[in-house]
Structure 1
Amino acid sequence: MAEPRQSPDCPPRKLPLWIRILLVFGSLSLAWQLYSWAASEPIDLPPQTLSTRPGAGSVDVAVMLAAHLNAPLTAGNRFTLLENGDEIFPAMLAEIRNAKRSVHLLTYVYWTGDIAHTFANELAAAARRGVEVRLLLDAFGARKIDPDWVEQMEQAGAEVEWFRPLRWDNLDNFNNRTHRKVLVVDGRVAFTGGVGIAQEWVGDAQDAEHWRDDHFRIEGPVVRYLQGSFAENWREASDVVLAGDAVFPPLQPVGDARAVPISTAPGDHFTGIPLTYWMMFRTAREEILIATPYYVPDPNLELGLMEAARRGVKVTLLVPGPYQDSALVRYASRTYYRGLIEAGVRVFEFQPTVMHTKLVVVDRTLALIGSPNFDSRSIELNYEIAVAVHDPEFAQRLVASYTHDLSRSEELGMRDVEQWSLLERTRDSAALLLRDQL
């Protein structure tokens, strides 16, 4: 029998109480997030002047960075560039297989595919043979991981923690993620860079299905501070403070590289990443090379880059081309290209696949590597880890790799920018409105 229709004079049925409570709290949470985004302070950059002449040769930028960031300047380090999954994953897995005391892996991305399953198997195997294995996953970035793999690792004895899972008591900082990518084995060998644990990163950037990225194998005293960046996020996620020689063993010099570790957190009154960019740009004398998958900078950083080009520094920017994992970022990035090109910056778009490389090299001697992107999210919202490296031999290796990437890229000129339609420019400008969240 058909249910009688409700009379228009009857009051509408009320939603269950639990649904109404969820809607109220959800609305309050959304309002708080919008307020936080709108009220966020601009990037804390220094004045646009330097006490010495820009580009002056007498400036030791590594010393200056360490002093201004109150960070250690470590000597005796060795950095090895690993290009794409074919080099990166075997090197990381080999260290996990050879681990004797501890394996600490912190990653923003842990997705799917054979390589992700292989990492789970090797971490579990290390735990079964008595190695202290700790895996820290960002609760947003790693949400695609197979739960069975997590259970497999935990049953083997590995400790798995999630960084800031969504709960009522962390709605105010849920937007602040750990974007750090750190693997430290036995406290002696570290890896960092742009790579996530996912099938997208396997191969050699040979086609659209295999991403282009760099990672770095690191040895020497600076490893202690990459371990520290892991320990900081682990402490919040687990309430455990890491200590002991298995985590922080004595480290001896192994190479010639000087390095300044830069570990940043959201909410810092003074953040080291934009200052590092600014100092590198202001002290450059001959050349600045930048590769970034997301170019949505603060206006002051953009001005610093254009200022360097105008005073004769050769500035090159490499960004993704037709393949991009975020169309919104690509649209917003395009709004900057006219000003950069007019200032003398050469802008290239990588063609074969998604380019996820994060790199700055200045004057073929100083490089910045690590997890930060060239955008507001990395500078203001995320936990990041970067290392400023002073080592001419290492920098030359990076320049050679960068030059090879340029050979597979197309340069944008003013004619290209002027051919964009009104609809395209409107779309790009609309995307830029979300700059603070990109």
Structure 2
Amino acid sequence: MLEYLKNNIWIVLIIVNYLLAISAVVTVLLKNINPTKTVSYIMVLVFFPFFGLFVYYMFGQEYRKTKLFNRKDISNTSVIQSVGDNLRIKEKDLDDISDRFEEKIKLVKLLKASEKSPLTLKNDVDILVNANIKFERLFEDLKEAEHYIHVEYYVINDDKIGTKLLNILCEKAKEGLEVKLTYDDVGSKISSKMKRKLTESGVEHYPFMRVLFSSLAGKTNYRNHRKIAIIDGAIGYVGGINISDDYVNYDDSARYWRDTHLRIHGEAVKILQFHFLTTWDFVNDSEIEIKQMYFPVIDCAQNIPVQIAASGPDTDWANIMEAILTAINNAETYIYLTTPYFIPNDQIVTALQIAARIGVDVRLITPKKSDSWIAQHATSSYLEPLLEAGVKVFLYEKGFIHAKTMVVDDLFSTIGTCNMDNRSFNINFEINALIYHKGKSEELKSIFMADLENCEQLDYERWKERSKYCKFQESFSRLWAPML
């Protein structure tokens, strides 16, 4: 028997491969997921032996409903419940402000169904264009922290800008402040030396879902793509800018990086805090203590309505995607969308097409040159049907645009970590701020218009005439779109 196996090893391996592939195909079919995604996985499993299994076990397992990411339900603690009670808006108050929000009140009600996304009214927000401005403001706030600092990022590198931030955290911890830091183990690169310094300084730090060779399957797929910083429970940061020199436009930078972040002072920081604590509860093995100081009374003179929408494998619904879809469906005048990766699902594509066809001014900015070959060509495969429907598509030429923003009808805008792709909608942990304010929407609209000056607008007739080789690259890349 052993001799037979030795002489026919490849035949045995192929048989084993297809037995596992058949099992995976049955599993995919029983999930009743999007047919396009189902067909993509079946094709990979059938036509690419071994590699297909690798792709499926790395990227094909859906954990939203199976709750792989079981976390202790910290929402049941008395402190969290008290915060929720204080933030909860009565139905009467919601009706009173419905005229101010016009049709966008549907968005508020959509997320209000989730108690983790209450509408907060007392907020002041600053839109921060590019990393240089973001880090200047963030470092100032960190240095002025008096009680605690909570930081959660997808990418933290101990390069020039990262080392500066980590050193500030060490200094504040030595001063006696509580400093908690969590970073994604795939996205971040922090040296052992820096980790020792953080520990010795008193900074509590944990990686999110540590990836070792023995546990690669699935864990490289469900990453924490959120970018959150919280100072004393009163100031919070959220947006697209990670902690890395790649995001900073130094004088000698290889390319220009265009990004957008948000600084919040007000009640919405409490919701950022809640989501940070759920992550901290997941990465930290010890019992977490929910302290009242995490949710202080905030004196904020401004009244800018903000909702925090979070989504990931630990949520029952794709909250951010649903919010974006609802905003598109309720647009009356314009939709201005910026995203580094545009690999949308069918619902988003159809909604944008319908909006454009009924006369809404729909404009999309995406990079002319992406940082991913397959993502760039997959994006290109979606542009022709949008152009045909009347969507105006602009390719950013000045550098790489990484901003993840949308502004609708001078009333609604969103800034956060979520890209317009399947990975952000369904796989990674993401977080966005939804802002209902005319002034801030007009500000984000002005930023969008300024970005258009560095864009090439695509012409539908010329785009149709691109070479068959380009179309083949796009079609090939699109096959992988559900897994990107």
Kept after mapping to 1: 8 A contact 2:223/2:429: yes
The superposition leaves residues 161-215 of structure 1 with CA deviations (integer Å, 9 ceiling, x where unpaired) of 0000125568444411110000001111000100011111113899752311011
Q: Name the counterpart of 1:191.
A: 237
Match of 1:246 among 290, 293, 304: 293
Q: Name the counterpart of 1:4.
A: none
Match of 1:286 among 324, 330, 333: 333
The superposition leaves residues 12-59 of structure 1 with CA deviations (integer Å, 9 ceiling, x where unpaired) of 9x9xxxxxxxxxxxx99984861685575999xxxxxxxxxxxx9555
Q: 1:64 to 1:220 in 2, by over 3 A?
A: same
Q: Name the counterpart of 2:15.
A: none
Q: Name the counterpart of 2:205.
A: 160
Amino acid of the residue matched to residue 280 of structure 1?
Answer: A
Take 2:236 and 2:64, find their aligned partners in 1: how far apart are those partners? 33
Kept after mapping to 2: 8 A contact 1:265/1:383: yes
Amino acid of the residue matched to residue 164 of structure 1?
Answer: M
Take 2:128 and 2:104, find their aligned partners in 1: how far apart are those partners? 30
Q: Name the counterpart of 2:320.
A: 273
Take 2:377 and 2:123, find their aligned partners in 1: how far apart are those partners? 39
Q: Name the counterpart of 1:236.
A: 282
Take 2:462 and 2:229, find their aligned partners in 1: how far apart are those partners? 41
TM-score, normalised to structure 1, is 0.85
**Structure 2, unaligned runs of 5 or more:** 1-5, 10-48, 66-100
Match of 2:124 among 74, 78, 83: 78
Q: 1:58 to 1:375 in 2, by over 3 A?
A: closer
Question: Mean Cα displacement is larger for which, 105-114 or 72-81?
Answer: 105-114
Q: 1:208 to 1:372 in 2, by over 3 A?
A: same
Take 2:407 and 2:193, find their aligned partners in 1: how far apart are those partners? 41
Match of 1:257 among 304, 311, 324: 304
Amino acid of the residue matched to residue 317 of structure 2?
Answer: F
Q: Name the counterpart of 1:87.
A: 133
Amino acid of the residue matched to residue 199 of structure 1?
Answer: D
Kept after mapping to 2: 8 A contact 1:85/1:204: no
Give RMSD over aligned pairs. Answer: 2.8
Take 1:376 and 1:205, find their aligned partners in 2: how far apart are those partners? 35
Match of 2:439 among 384, 393, 418: 393
Q: Name the counterpart of 1:316.
A: 363
Take 2:316 and 2:456, find their aligned partners in 1: how far apart are those partners? 39
Shift of 1:421: 1.3
The superposition leaves residues 71-106 of structure 1 with CA deviations (integer Å, 9 ceiling, x where unpaired) of 311111111011112211010111111111111111
Amino acid of the residue matched to residue 332 of structure 2?
Answer: R
Q: 1:412 to 1:91 in 2, by over 3 A?
A: same
Q: 1:201 to 1:174 in 2, by over 3 A?
A: closer
- The structure with the largest helix share of the pair is 2
Kept after mapping to 1: 8 A contact 2:63/2:313: no
Q: Does 1:103 align with 2:125?
A: no
Q: 1:427 to 1:169 in 2, by over 3 A?
A: closer
Q: Kindly report which structure 2 residues correspond to 1:45-64, keeping only aligned pairs within 5 A, or say none.
A: 58-64=103-109
Shift of 1:129: 0.7
Question: Mean Cα displacement is larger for which, 294-303 or 263-272?
Answer: 263-272
Kept after mapping to 1: 8 A contact 2:259/2:401: yes
Shift of 1:251: 2.9
Question: Mean Cα displacement is larger for which, 30-39 or 155-164?
Answer: 30-39
Shift of 1:431: 1.1
Kept after mapping to 1: 8 A contact 2:60/2:483: no
Amino acid of the residue matched to residue 291 of structure 2?
Answer: G
Q: Kindly report which structure 2 residues correspond to 1:7-18, keeping only aligned pairs within 5 A, or say none.
A: none
Match of 1:402 among 448, 459, 462: 448
Q: 1:221 to 1:158 in 2, by over 3 A?
A: same
**Structure 1, unaligned runs of 5 or more:** 1-10, 15-26, 44-55
Q: 1:396 to 1:206 in 2, by over 3 A?
A: farther
Match of 2:56 among 34, 45, 50: 34
Shift of 1:317: 0.2
Match of 1:113 among 139, 151, 159: 159
Q: 1:409 to 1:206 in 2, by over 3 A?
A: farther
Match of 1:201 among 212, 231, 247: 247
Take 1:295 and 1:277, find their aligned partners in 2: how far apart are those partners? 13
Q: 1:313 to 1:205 in 2, by over 3 A?
A: farther
Shift of 1:252: 4.0
TM-score, normalised to structure 2, is 0.77
What SS does the corresponding residue of 1:400 show, helix, strand or coil? helix
Q: Name the counterpart of 1:346.
A: 392
Q: Does 1:295 align with 2:295?
A: no
Q: Name the counterpart of 1:414.
A: 460
Q: Name the counterpart of 1:49.
A: none
Match of 1:327 among 373, 396, 399: 373
What SS does the corresponding residue of 1:140 show, helix, strand or coil? coil
Take 1:206 and 1:285, find their aligned partners in 2: how far apart are those partners? 44
Q: Name the counterpart of 2:190.
A: 145
Q: 1:397 to 1:242 in 2, by over 3 A?
A: farther
